[in-house]
Amino acid sequence: MNRLAPSILSADFSKLGEEVAEIEKAGAHVIHVDVMDGHFVPNISYGATVMKSLIGKTKMPFDVHLMIENPEKYIEDFVTENTEIITVHAEACVHLHRTIQLIHSFGVKAGVALNPATLPDVLDYVLEEIDLALVMSVNPGFGGQKFIPSALHKVKALQNQKELRNQELIIEIDGGITLDNIKMVTDAGAELVVAGSSVFGVEDRLCRVQQFLNIMK
Ligand code: DX5
Ligand code: ZN
138 lines ligand 1 (CB under 6 A): yes
3-state secondary structure 125-191: CCHHHCCEEEEECCCCCCCCCCCCCCHHHHHHHHHHHHHHHCCCCEEEEECCCCCCCHHHHHHHCCC
Please list, in sequence order, all residues whose beta carbon lies within 8 angstroms of the beta carbon of residue 15, skipping any fewer than 6 positions away.
none
- The pLDDT value recorded for residue 127 is 97
pLDDT digits (tens, 9 = 90+) for 44-97: 999 999 999 999 999 999 999 999 999 999 999 999 999 999 999 999 999 999
pLDDT of 217 strictly over 90 = no
Among the bound ligands, the one closest to the CA of 9 = 1
Index of the ligand 1 atom closest to the CA of residue 10: 9
pLDDT at 45: 98
Q: Is the dihedral angle over the CA atoms 87, 90, 91, 94 positive or is it negative? A: positive
Mutate which of 137, 139, 174 to test ligand 1's pocket (most atoms within 8 Å of Cβ)? Answer: 174
- Measured N-to-C along each axis, helices 16-25 and 205-216 cross at an angle, to the nearest 10 degrees, of 40
Average pLDDT taken over every residue of the chain: 98
Is the pLDDT assigned to residue 2 strictly greater than 90? yes
Distance, CA 20 to ligand 1 centroid (Å)?
Answer: 16
CA 161, 166, 171 angle in degrees (round to 5)?
Answer: 55
Tens of pLDDT, residues 95-133: 999 999 999 999 999 999 999 999 999 999 999 999 999
Contact between residue 162 and residue 171 where contact means Cβ atoms under 8 Å apart: yes
